Amino acid sequence: MKRLAPAIFLFLSSIMLSQETASEATEDMISNFYSIPDIPALDFLSSDPDNISKPSTTRELVTSLYNALDEDGKVKQGLALEIKPSYLLNIPVNLQDYQDDEFKYMLYNTQVSVASLASSGDIANTDLSWGVRMVIFDNSDPMSDRDFTNMIAKQFVEGGPDSPESSDEEEELKEMAKIIKEGKKEFVKNHWNASWLAVSYAGGTRLKGSEITEGNSIGHQFLVAGGFRISTFGQLGYQAKWSEELREETEMYFEEFELSSRLTIKGKSTLNFFAEIGYNPLLNKEDFESFEEINTERDLSWLGGFEFLITKDLWLNAGVGSEADRFVEGNGIQVLSGIKFGIADKQRIQAPTR
Amino acid sequence: MAKKDLVLSDPSQPVQWNIVVNTVHILGYKIWKQAPGNTDWELIKEGVSTDNIADNGEFSVEKGAKFSYWMGIGSTVPETEFEISVVLSQNGKVMENGLILEKGLTNEDGVARRLEKLKFV
């Protein structure tokens, strides 16, 4: 071991020196891969509008839909609507329902969305999309946990005023915000590997001349994602996606299926492991065999790795497999015996969450 | 909207109170009363909506007395609409102006606070 120590030191130094600004860990690709879109209709069009309308009554919804059309009856571009059916159907859901009634939990966590965007290549046309997202259950949701909500409420009372005369709104709001933030942080830490299941669907149409009656499908996608808790140390994440999407370069529909699963094992907070396997076949590959630029043969992809906390805000990560670049990225990557090593300024192995 | 005075139909009868959270929110609350001509507030109850203990009770009061409640409201999701009912009744009947709805939006931290003082007439 004494002989190995200088070699390890030199190896780590070479990575760290070549990467003076330890790759800012960028987005946590490893975590974000397993999730459903926040707003499926927007995700489907890759749209990111400044304002999202959230009608909470039927009247507001009708007004929003009316405003989505211009004076000639054409669909406006840049539309973004997020709708909660539980509000529109006027089905009351309180905290007790949320914690005890599975149907009401699911209904409350169901969202319908509608979006529109100028079609790429012809701004006279409009792409209109619609989507649904539904969380079936999620044990990592603090509001569904009675112990959590009870603890927070009791802390609110403890921090409340002794009499109406001594109440200070600003101070109380600040104190309550701190209670919620710290309580949530602790809850997430303790429930990182909780089980969950969510589904989403999105579809779209291209409206010629933005006319509502002149639509041609641009595709559909259906996604199921979730995680199984494994004791206190692990989680098995999974995701299945079916999609049929119009690809501009061929004017034909790609029909794909994507299946992947990941095992995450977390240690005491300094050492974490994961292994992931994925398969993404093109279901109608015979339609594209004449297109040389399109890869119709898809292999099984895999990725495994670990991360180790060297010191505060400095993680050594190592990945192996066909998708290793997704985990180890940035400058100064070193390859040793086929294993890619890199340095990041924060933890990259997180549990998949909705 | 300013709340109106609470009308006691029979000052010799106790006032029943009941607090119900109608939305997916956490509530911690305190309620007090103040005798007429007195500056001290007497705590009637402090409680939470999240346990299995009913959020109701009763207290005696006379005309000219005051009633106050403080509410700490929260959710892990920011900017959500909350609705909480406070019902004051006598002899099983809701008092005039005794049905109070606290509605609003939590802030970007997911919290809101309400403080109200009302007079019995």
- Assess contact for A114 and A81: CB atoms under 8 A: yes
Helix (H, G, I), strand (E, B) or coil at A40: helix
A 217-236 near B (Cβ less than 8 A): none
Q: How far apart are CA A272 and CA A349, in angstroms?
A: 7
Please give the structure tokens belonging to residue A91. Answer: 């089905």
Please give the structure tokens belonging to residue A242. Answer: 């079916």
Q: What is the dihedral of CA A341, A343, A349, A350, to 10 degrees?
A: -170
The residue with tokens 């009372």 is A157
Which residues of chain B does A107 touch, with a Cβ-Cβ cutoff of 8 Å?
Answer: none
Q: How far apart are CA A170 and CA A164, in angstroms?
A: 14
pLDDT of residue A20: 43
Best probe of the A interface among B31, B103, B111, by most A CBs < 10 A, is B111
Pick the range with the lowest mean pLDDT from A58-62, B54-58, B92-96, B99-103.
Answer: A58-62
Q: Is the pLDDT of residue A299 over 50?
A: yes
Q: Is the pLDDT of residue A350 over 70?
A: no
Look at residues A318, A308, A312 and name the one whose alpha carbon lies nearest to residue A270.
A308
| A107-113 mean pLDDT | 96
The residue with tokens 């004494």 is A2
Q: How far apart are CA A136 and CA A108, in angstroms?
A: 10
Helix runs in chain A, H state only: 4-17, 29-32, 40-45, 58-67, 85-88, 95-100, 102-108, 146-158, 169-190
Q: Is B41 on the interface with A (CB under 8 A)?
A: yes
Q: B41, A108: Cβ pair inside 8 Å?
A: no
Burial class of residue A71 (count of CB atoms within 10 Å of its CB; 0-12, 13-18, 19+): exposed
Please give the structure tokens belonging to residue A139. Answer: 């044990």
> CB count, 10 Å around CB of A1?
5
Q: Is the pLDDT of residue A32 over 50?
A: no
Which residues of chain B does A94 touch, with a Cβ-Cβ cutoff of 8 Å?
Answer: 20-24
Q: Is A98 on the interface with B (CB under 8 A)?
A: yes
| A13-31 mean pLDDT | 44
Instruction: Give whichever of A71-80, A206-215, A331-340, B76-85 has the largest mean pLDDT.
Output: B76-85
pLDDT of residue A5: 55
- Assess contact for A327 and A306: CB atoms under 8 A: no
Q: What is the mean pLDDT of chain A?
A: 85
Q: Is the pLDDT of residue A1 over 70?
A: no
Look at residues B37, B34, B62, B57 and name the one whose alpha carbon lies nearest to residue B46.
B57
pLDDT of residue A4: 52
Residue A269 Rama label (left phi>0; alpha psi -120 to 50; beta): left
Q: How far apart are CA B31 and CA A200, in angstroms?
A: 44
Q: A172, B72: Cβ pair inside 8 Å?
A: yes
Q: How far apart are CA B42 and CA A279, in angstroms?
A: 67
| A223-239 mean pLDDT | 93
Beta-carbon-side half-sphere exposure of residue B97 (alpha carbons within 13 Å): 14
Single-letter residue type at A144: S
The residue with tokens 């594209």 is A288
Sheet containing A234-247, strands listed edge to edge, beginning at the edge strand earlier in sequence: A80-83, A110-119, A122-138, A196-207, A215-230, A234-247, A252-266, A271-279, A301-311, A314-320, A339-344, A334-336
Single-letter residue type at A179: I
Q: Is A160 on the interface with B (CB under 8 A)?
A: yes
Pick the range with the lowest mean pLDDT from A121-125, A205-209, B75-79, B83-87.
Answer: A121-125
- Assess contact for A143 and B24: CB atoms under 8 A: yes
Look at residues A62, A15, A49 and name the one whose alpha carbon lies nearest to residue A310.
A15
Instruction: Tell me the backbone φ, ψ of residue B97, rounded to 5 degrees.
Output: 65, 15
pLDDT of residue B31: 98
| A73-94 mean pLDDT | 90
Distances (CA, A) of A287 to A245, A296, A297: 14, 9, 13
Strand partners, A122: A119
Please give the structure tokens belonging to residue A154. Answer: 């009791």
| A327-342 mean pLDDT | 75
Q: A160, B46: Cβ pair inside 8 Å?
A: yes
Binning pLDDT at 50, 70 and 90, where does residue A338 land? confident
Q: Is A154 on the interface with B (CB under 8 A)?
A: yes
pTM confidence score = 0.83
pLDDT of residue A14: 52
Q: How far apart are CA A293 and CA A281, in angstroms?
A: 16
| A314-327 mean pLDDT | 80
Nearest residue, CB atoms, B107 vs list A146, A154, A173: A173
Query: Going along chain A, which residue ranges are E strands?
Result: 80-83, 110-119, 122-138, 196-207, 215-230, 234-247, 252-266, 271-279, 301-311, 314-320, 334-336, 339-344
Q: Is the pLDDT of residue A19 over 70?
A: no
Q: Is the pLDDT of residue A319 over 80?
A: yes
Which residues of chain A does B54 touch, with a Cβ-Cβ cutoff of 8 Å?
Answer: none
Q: What percent of chain B has pLDDT over 90?
A: 89
Best probe of the A interface among B75, B76, B77, by most A CBs < 10 A, is B76
CA-angle at A231, arms to A229 and A235, nearest 5°: 35
pLDDT of residue A12: 54
| B70-97 mean pLDDT | 95
Q: Is A91 on the interface with B (CB under 8 A)?
A: no
Instruction: Tell me the backbone φ, ψ of residue A195, rounded to 5 degrees.
Output: -75, 150
Q: Is the pLDDT of residue A85 over 80?
A: yes
Q: How far apart are CA A311 and CA B25, in angstroms?
A: 40
pLDDT of residue A18: 46
Strands B26-34 and A271-279, how do they pair?
A: unpaired
* Residue-wise pLDDT tens digits, A184-197: 999 998 998 999 99
Q: Is B75 on the interface with A (CB under 8 A)?
A: yes
Cα of A98 to nearest chain B Cα, Å:
7
pLDDT of residue A81: 93
Pick the range with the lowest mean pLDDT from A99-108, A268-277, B41-50.
Answer: A268-277
